[in-house]
Amino acid sequence: MPEKITFGGYGKRPGKFRYNYGVAVSADNEIYMTDLKNKRVQVFSMNGTYLRLFPTVVPGENMTMFPVSVALDVGPGYLWVLGKRRLYYSEGHVVQYSKNGEPIKKFEVSLGSFHSVSAMDVRNNKVILGYEHTITMVDPNGSRFWSSNVSTEYGIGGVKWDTEGNILLTDGYKTVQMYNQSGVKIFEFGTYGKAKGQLPHPRGICLDSYGRIIVTNSMSKNNRVDMFTRQGEFVRTIADIKGPWGVAMGPCGELVVTSPSKFTYTATIFPRHMVLP
C-alpha cells in the first residue's frame, strides 16, 4: 500500500515554501498551494512532484499580493486566490486566475485578520470569505450577497461549504460551526482540550465523500487531523502531524495537509487507505 508523501521545506526555490497556508485539489488531481511570503501559488501532482508556479499578480495593478487562501472555481480551468496587499494591513483582493496563472479579474475586500480564509460554493456559484469574526458570501463580480457576524474567540480558522449549501467554519479556538445559506447558525460542536475529539485551535476544514468533517488541530500538544460525523461525533484521528493547517480532499480520497509552522514548511499527502479505511 502507498505510504504518505511529505514534500517542500523552507526556501524561495520552486517546490519550497515560506508559509504555505492555503490548499485546494482539482478534479484532475493537481494540488494548488499558496506560498505567502514568496507571493505565489505553486502547483504539484498527487505524488508531490512540483509542476509549475505563478506569481499572484493583481490585475490592473503593478503589484503582487501575499496569498493566504485558494479555492477552485465553478468553471473548470479557473481558481480564486484571497490575498493581502501588505501583510499586516486589512486591504486585500480576491483574484480569479486561470490554472496556468493568468490573472482574469479581481475585487477588493477589507480583511481585518492576518489569517483570512476563503472557499467556493460551487452549488450557488458564490465565493465565501472568512476573516476575524465575519463570514461573507460574495458573487463572483464582487457584490456582497450577505454577511454575518459569527461567535469566535480567535477569528475564523477555516471555511467550507457542504453539498446542501451550508457553510462550515472553525472558530480558531475549540468549535466547528455550521450556518445556512442565509448566515443563520444551525449548530456547533467541539470542546477545548487534549482528549480524543477535542479541538484546541482548529484551523483547516474539509469534507470527505461521505460528508464527514475533517479538521486540522493545530495546538502544539495535539498536532493531529481528526474526523467527525456530520452531526459532530468524533470518528477517529486520521493522522498525527506537526503544525497542520490547511486541508483538502482529492477526488480519489487522498488528503493533503499543509504544515506552515516554523521549521516545517511542508505538505503531506495521505493516501486513500489511510484516510478512508
Residue 2 inside a domain? The answer is no
Residue 79 inside a domain? The answer is yes
Residue 242, domain CATH: 2.120.10.30
Which pLDDT score is estimated for 113? Answer: 63
Number of domains in the chain: 1
Domain that holds residue 44: 16-274
Cβ atoms of 35 and 21 within 8 Å: the answer is no
* Long-range contacts of the stretch 8-15 (C-beta < 8 A, 24+): 8/265, 8/266, 8/267, 9/265, 9/266, 10/263, 10/265, 11/265, 12/38, 14/42, 14/50, 14/53, 15/42, 15/44, 15/50
Residue 7 inside a domain? The answer is no
Residue 21 inside a domain? The answer is yes
Digitized pLDDT (tens) for each residue of the chain, 277 residues in all: 789 999 999 999 999 999 999 999 999 999 999 999 999 999 999 999 999 999 999 999 999 999 999 999 988 899 999 999 988 888 899 999 999 999 999 999 888 766 788 888 877 788 999 888 888 888 888 888 888 888 787 788 899 988 888 899 998 889 999 998 888 899 999 999 888 889 988 999 999 999 999 999 876 667 899 999 999 999 999 999 989 999 999 999 999 999 998 778 999 999 999 998 7
Residue 1 inside a domain? The answer is no
Residue 29 inside a domain? The answer is yes
Tell me the one-letter amino acid at 135.
I
Which pLDDT score is estimated for 214? Answer: 97
Residue 8 inside a domain? The answer is no
Residue 243 inside a domain? The answer is yes
